[in-house]
């Protein structure tokens, strides 16, 4: 449009120029009338003039170029005049235009100048150019010729074509959508616009005032200043005008969003002439944008207030949003977290797995769930459960993921605790071996602590003895064990395990302070050992089963720096509870095993012992019947002997059965005493005399400084003890020898009975157990009896509040010593039946040692 005007102007200019030239030519022509000199002069000045003329000028005569000025040479692409002078005119004319050129040549030959013609030339380099040509008839060297003024319009034509195309496009666009085109003539202030602009602005058809002022009036007041600034800038500096403004429709009163882009055109003097622009209604887009902004704001406020950690990633897998909960959790900023920044907080051990799950789910656009540890702001690793789901745009395109995480540390720890305890129960149930179980418990506990020690209450003096120790680093086990052993002599009442064993109350040392360690023992050596252990934190829990503290389980932390907390403490107690049961079970099992073995042994011994007299009894009974079948050989002496043996053997059987019953009574706690004042000297003498009557090989002697010697005893039971000791002395002196029985008052309140033989004695390794039930000092070198004698004797003596002991004189043999009080203790009355407390049927060994 504006280019058309430019073209028009140029055409006018060209014609004016041409007119000037023609007038000049006419002058020159007039000057050709006078003779030579003037002509020569005028030709020279003419030549000079056209030589310098900026337009291309050529003269052709008889169809050939005879003159071309410098601008013409340049236009046609010649460097030298020789390249063109003398050449046919038509050589430089595009074939399509040759007829037209021939026509206008003919016209000029007839003395007629042409109007402005558009032609197409071919340059010497072959490039076609669009040109405007004006031809006038001239006389050259006395001959008629044609002078042409040529201008290259190739660029202009191309621009015009492009403009035409743009205009077309614009027209199509404006018809198709909410797009209007306008033109502002700046000097006049008139605005021309396409019809649809009125509708676009919400006004009646033809309602537009057509001035910039009426345009300004439509702009939403708040936006006016900005629009004016932009307009001014566009007019002054030629900057592109591009604004998005709100307008109020004068007709419908509706608010609209309009986007305008425009360009200013200036004249040669740099004065703004016109502004051409395109305006588009973008109200819908704005509304969508606003909706989006609002929904995003809503999402953000929702996300930030959600109690879960949220993250959002884009289709490129990179995270682009984390909610406030996430940022508060990690203590990092959005900038640190977005992209792949979040990965820095994931535990290195979990990262690889997480990434794999994330990427493979991403690939498949599938939801995923994963657990990993994330570093919290305080540096603590916390287990998170992260659930990610793919997001899709309304059009169905994949937009990335959104994930929510919850802190499952507590749940995880609870699960771990449960798993740990389940494992513990399994491991502890795996063995019935006492030591093995303790070792298993210690080993298991190293899952909670750097090392673990189990100290058990010793059966004899109640002191603590270290039974198991396990360290996370097995190489350190011996070192720690040694250090712990070094502490053994310093286990004062203050030592935690000792205290815990005493009180039965667990203790937690969250942080072991030096002062705390100093309290444990004042000994420098103990302090050193404790310092070497490098304790940081500790838990001591008692192992309690059936109301008894069996030992103490210690959980200790050193190198790891772990500080035990209340949860560890609770877990340790749970563990200790199970451990105590397991340990107690193994102990019971072992005792039951031993008791069962004892019983088996006893049965075997009892069977053997009962069978011996039974064999004699049966043999003689059979001898008797054999004799009776042969009456002729009946011998009264022999019959008497048979009767005697039968009598003896049944007595023997009776005694054995009595012993068995005694043991049974002892075990049931029903061995009662009927205490009466008794002369013990007489009692001993009676036993010794009877024993002596049964042996020739032994010499029995009673020694006493006091006779009679009265004490409060159960006479029958006491006699049983003396008989047992005397019989043993005889039995264990199979080659005969002296047996000395001494009965004295060792002090006014105590009767001392000793039985000394010079027989076999008892092998050193067996002495400890001789008072145990069924125990026989001479395993195979068997001396009859069931090993019950001493056991029963001991029970009887202890029921009398006495003690039984054994000595082994260096010259050989044995000396059994019984001490019993002369009187029963205060408050005890004559005839009072005392009995042992009911003993547990299964812990016989334990109890029998008392």
Indicate which single residue of 25, 109, 573, 612 sits in contact with another protein (rule: CB under 8 A).
612
Q: Is the peptide bond before 579 cis (omega within 30 degrees of 0)?
A: no
By CB under 8 A, which span of 179-187, 355-363, 604-612, 683-691 interacts with another protein?
A: 604-612
How far is residue 450's CA from residue 361's CA, in Å, rounded to a whole number? 39
Q: Does 672 bind another protein (CB under 8 A)?
A: no
Residue (379 or 636) nearer to another protein, CB: 636
Q: Does 616 bind another protein (CB under 8 A)?
A: yes
C-alpha closest to that of 588 among 845, 833, 388, 221: 845
Q: Does 647 bind another protein (CB under 8 A)?
A: no
Indicate which single residue of 325, 649, 758, 793 sits in contact with another protein (rule: CB under 8 A).
649
Q: Does 653 bind another protein (CB under 8 A)?
A: no
Residue (487 or 777) nearer to another protein, CB: 777
Find out whether 310 and 404 touch, Cβ atoms under 8 Å.
Answer: yes
Residue (344 or 600) nearer to another protein, CB: 600
By CB under 8 A, which span of 382-390, 466-474, 579-587, 613-621 interacts with another protein?
A: 613-621
In the bound complex, what is the minimum distance in angstroms from residue 700's beta carbon to another protein? Answer: 19
In the bound complex, what is the minimum distance in angstroms from residue 635's beta carbon to another protein? Answer: 11
Residue (338 or 610) nearer to another protein, CB: 610
How far is Cα of residue 138 from the mean position of the Cα atoms in its chain? 102
Residue (40 or 603) nearer to another protein, CB: 603
Residue (645 or 713) nearer to another protein, CB: 645
Q: Which parts of 496-546 are beta strand (E)?
A: 507-509, 537-545
By CB under 8 A, which span of 568-576, 673-681, 774-782, 791-799 interacts with another protein?
A: 774-782
HEC string for 413-441: HHHHHHHHHHHHHHHHHCCCCHHHHHHHH
Q: Does 782 bind another protein (CB under 8 A)?
A: yes
How many residues in the shown chain lie near another protein by CB under 8 A? 27
In the bound complex, what is the minimum distance in angstroms from residue 721's beta carbon to another protein? Answer: 23
Residue (81 or 731) nearer to another protein, CB: 731
Residue (349 or 628) nearer to another protein, CB: 628
What is the β-pairing status of strands 537-545 and 803-807?
unpaired
How far is residue 552's CA from residue 547's CA, in Å, rounded to a whole number? 14
Residue (540 or 620) nearer to another protein, CB: 620
Residue (551 or 785) nearer to another protein, CB: 785
DSSP 562: -
Find out whether 452 and 445 touch, Cβ atoms under 8 Å.
Answer: yes
C-alpha closest to that of 303 among 375, 409, 402: 402
Q: Does 660 bind another protein (CB under 8 A)?
A: no
In the bound complex, what is the minimum distance in angstroms from residue 476's beta carbon to another protein? Answer: 50
CA atoms within 13 A on the CB side of 773: 27
Q: Does 680 bind another protein (CB under 8 A)?
A: no
C-alpha closest to that of 93 among 110, 81, 105: 105
Q: Does 496 bind another protein (CB under 8 A)?
A: no
Encoded one letter per residue, x for contact with another protein by CB under 8 A and - for no contact, window 555-594 reads: ----------------------------------------
Encoded one letter per residue, x for contact with another protein by CB under 8 A and - for no contact, window 618-637 reads: xxx-xx--x-----------
256, 430, 433, 436, 488 from 586: Cα distances, Å: 90, 11, 6, 9, 26
Q: Does 784 bind another protein (CB under 8 A)?
A: yes
How far is residue 803's CA from residue 375's CA, in Å, rounded to a whole number? 70
By CB under 8 A, which span of 298-306, 616-624, 659-667, 765-773 interacts with another protein?
A: 616-624
What is the β-pairing status of strands 698-704 and 737-747?
parallel
Q: Does 617 bind another protein (CB under 8 A)?
A: yes
Residue 502 CB neighbour total at 10 angstroms:
15
3-class SS of residue 279: strand
Encoded one letter per residue, x for contact with another protein by CB under 8 A and - for no contact, window 418-447 reads: ------------------------------
256, 282, 633 from 226: Cα distances, Å: 16, 18, 157
Residue (240 or 608) nearer to another protein, CB: 608
In the bound complex, what is the minimum distance in angstroms from residue 784's beta carbon to another protein? Answer: 7
Residue (546 or 630) nearer to another protein, CB: 630
Indicate which single residue of 604, 647, 749, 840 sits in contact with another protein (rule: CB under 8 A).
604
How far is residue 243's CA from residue 230's CA, in Å, rounded to a whole number? 8
C-alpha closest to that of 241 among 267, 220, 282, 272: 272
How far is residue 711's CA from residue 749's CA, in Å, rounded to a whole number? 9
Helix axes 680-692, 715-731, angle to 10 degrees: 40
How far is residue 117's CA from residue 99's CA, in Å, rounded to a whole number? 13
Indicate which single residue of 115, 615, 654, 689 sits in contact with another protein (rule: CB under 8 A).
615
By CB under 8 A, which span of 245-253, 515-523, 645-653, 714-722 interacts with another protein?
A: 645-653
Q: Which parts of 186-295 are beta strand (E)?
A: 190-193, 241-248, 255-266, 272-281
In the bound complex, what is the minimum distance in angstroms from residue 472's beta carbon to another protein? Answer: 51
Encoded one letter per residue, x for contact with another protein by CB under 8 A and - for no contact, window 707-746 reads: ------------------------x--x------------
Residue (425 or 612) nearer to another protein, CB: 612
By CB under 8 A, which span of 105-113, 358-366, 383-391, 780-788 interacts with another protein?
A: 780-788
Dihedrals φ, ψ of 287, to 5°? -65, -45
HEC string for 121-135: EECCCCCEEEEEEEE
Find out whether 166 and 174 touch, Cβ atoms under 8 Å.
Answer: no
Residue (403 or 759) nearer to another protein, CB: 759
Q: How far apart are the first and last CA of the chain?
A: 128
Q: Does 608 bind another protein (CB under 8 A)?
A: yes
By CB under 8 A, which span of 212-220, 572-580, 686-694, 782-790 interacts with another protein?
A: 782-790
Residue (482 or 611) nearer to another protein, CB: 611
In the bound complex, what is the minimum distance in angstroms from residue 647's beta carbon to another protein? Answer: 11
Indicate which single residue of 231, 310, 583, 645 sits in contact with another protein (rule: CB under 8 A).
645
DSSP 82: G
Q: Does 611 bind another protein (CB under 8 A)?
A: yes
Residue (314 or 619) nearer to another protein, CB: 619
Residue (385 or 614) nearer to another protein, CB: 614
C-alpha closest to that of 534 among 517, 562, 512, 558: 558
Q: Is 515 exposed, middle or buried (0-12, 13-18, 19+ CB in 10 A)?
A: exposed
3-class SS of residue 397: coil
Q: Does 697 bind another protein (CB under 8 A)?
A: no
By CB under 8 A, which span of 158-166, 276-284, 456-464, 641-649 interacts with another protein?
A: 641-649
How far is residue 142's CA from residue 162's CA, in Å, rounded to a whole number? 47
How far is residue 470's CA from residue 443's CA, in Å, rounded to a whole number? 5
Indicate which single residue of 764, 780, 811, 829 sits in contact with another protein (rule: CB under 8 A).
780
Where along the sequence are the contacts to another protein (CB under 8 A)? 604, 607-608, 611-620, 622-623, 626, 645, 648-649, 731, 734, 778, 780-784
């Amino acid at each position: 449009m504006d280019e058309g005007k430019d073209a028009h102007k140029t055409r006018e200019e060209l014609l004016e120029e041409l007119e000037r030239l023609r007038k000049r030519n006419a002058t020159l022509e007039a000057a050709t009338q006078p003779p030579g000199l003037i002509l020569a002069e005028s030709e020279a000045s003419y030549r000079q003039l056209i030589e310098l003329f900026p337009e291309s000028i050529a003269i052709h005569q008889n169809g050939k170029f005879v003159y071309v000025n410098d601008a013409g040479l340049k236009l046609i692409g010649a460097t030298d005049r020789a390249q063109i002078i003398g050449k046919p005119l038509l050589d430089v004319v595009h074939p399509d235009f040759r007829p037209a050129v021939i026509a206008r040549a003919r016209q000029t030959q007839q003395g007629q100048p042409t109007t402005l013609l558009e032609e197409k030339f071919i340059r010497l380099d072959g490039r076609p150019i669009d040109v405007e040509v004006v031809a006038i008839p001239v006389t050259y060297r006395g001959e008629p010729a044609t002078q042409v003024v040529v201008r290259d319009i190739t660029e202009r034509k191309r621009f015009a074509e492009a403009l035409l195309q743009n205009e077309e496009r614009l027209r199509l666009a404006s018809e198709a959508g909410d797009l209007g085109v306008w033109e502002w003539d700046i000097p006049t202030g008139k605005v021309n616009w396409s019809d649809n602009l009125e509708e676009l602005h919400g006004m009646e058809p033809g309602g537009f005032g057509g001035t910039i002022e009426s345009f300004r009036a439509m702009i939403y007041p708040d936006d006016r200043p900005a629009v004016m600034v932009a307009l001014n800038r566009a007019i002054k500096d030629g900057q592109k005008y591009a604004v998005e403004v709100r307008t109020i429709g004068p007709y419908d009163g509706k608010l609209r969003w309009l986007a305008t882009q425009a360009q200013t055109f200036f004249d040669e003097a740099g004065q703004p002439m016109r502004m051409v622009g395109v305006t588009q209604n973008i109200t819908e887009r704005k509304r969508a944008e606003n909706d989006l902004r609002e929904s995003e704001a809503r999402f953000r406020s929702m996300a930030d207030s959600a109690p879960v950690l949220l993250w959002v990633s884009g289709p490129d897998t990179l995270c682009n949003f984390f909610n406030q909960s996430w940022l508060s959790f990690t203590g990092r900023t959005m900038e640190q977290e977005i992209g792949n920044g979040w990965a820095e907080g994931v535990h290195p051990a979990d990262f690889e797995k997480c990434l794999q799950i994330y990427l493979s789910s991403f690939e498949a656009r599938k939801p995923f769930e994963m657990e990993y540890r994330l570093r919290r702001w305080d540096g603590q690793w916390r287990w998170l459960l992260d659930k990610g789901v793919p997001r899709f745009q309304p059009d169905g395109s994949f937009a990335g993921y959104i994930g929510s995480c919850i802190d499952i540390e507590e749940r995880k720890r609870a699960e771990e605790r449960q798993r740990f305890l389940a494992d513990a129960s399994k491991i502890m149930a795996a063995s019935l071996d006492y030591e093995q179980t303790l070792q298993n418990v210690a080993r298991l506990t190293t899952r909670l602590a750097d090392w673990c020690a189990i100290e058990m209450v010793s059966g004899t003096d109640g002191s603590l003895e270290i039974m198991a120790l396990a360290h996370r680093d097995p190489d350190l086990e011996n070192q720690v064990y040694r250090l712990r052993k070094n502490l053994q002599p310093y286990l004062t009442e203050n030592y935690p395990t000792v205290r815990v064993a005493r009180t039965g109350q667990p203790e937690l040392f969250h942080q072991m302070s030096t002062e705390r360690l100093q309290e444990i023992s004042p000994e420098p050596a103990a302090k050193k050992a404790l310092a070497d252990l490098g304790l940081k934190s500790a838990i001591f829990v008692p192992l309690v089963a059936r109301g008894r503290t069996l030992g103490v389980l210690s959980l200790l932390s050193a190198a790891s720096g772990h500080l035990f907390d209340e949860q560890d403490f609770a877990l340790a107690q749970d563990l200790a509870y199970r451990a105590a049961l397991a340990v107690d079970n193994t102990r019971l099992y072992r005792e039951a095993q031993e008791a069962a073995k004892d019983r088996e042994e006893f049965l075997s011994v009892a069977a053997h012992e009962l069978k011996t007299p039974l064999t004699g009894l049966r043999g003689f009974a059979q001898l008797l019947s054999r004799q009776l079948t042969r009456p002729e050989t009946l011998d009264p002496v022999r019959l008497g002997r048979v009767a005697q043996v039968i009598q003896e053997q049944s007595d023997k059987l009776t005694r054995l059965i009595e012993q068995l019953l005694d043991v049974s009574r002892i075990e049931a706690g029903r061995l009662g005493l009927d205490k009466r004042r008794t002369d013990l000297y007489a009692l001993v003498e009676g036993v010794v005399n009877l024993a002596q009557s049964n042996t020739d090989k032994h010499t029995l002697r009673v020694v006493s400084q006091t006779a009679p010697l009265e004490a409060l005893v159960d006479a029958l039971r006491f006699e049983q003890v003396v008989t047992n000791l005397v019989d043993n002395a005889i039995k264990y002196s199979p080659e005969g020898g002296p047996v000395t029985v001494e009965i004295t008052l060792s002090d006014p309140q105590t009767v001392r009975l000793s039985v000394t033989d010079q027989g076999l004695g008892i092998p050193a390794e067996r002495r400890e157990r001789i008072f145990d039930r069924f125990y026989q000092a001479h395993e195979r070198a068997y001396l009859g009896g069931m090993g019950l004698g001493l056991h029963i004797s001991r029970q009887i003596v202890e029921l009398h509040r006495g003690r039984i002991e054994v000595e082994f004189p260096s010259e050989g043999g044995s000396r059994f010593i019984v001490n019993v009080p002369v009187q029963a203790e205060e408050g005890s009355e004559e005839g009072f039946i005392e009995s042992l407390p009911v003993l547990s049927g299964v812990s016989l060994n334990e109890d029998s040692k008392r």
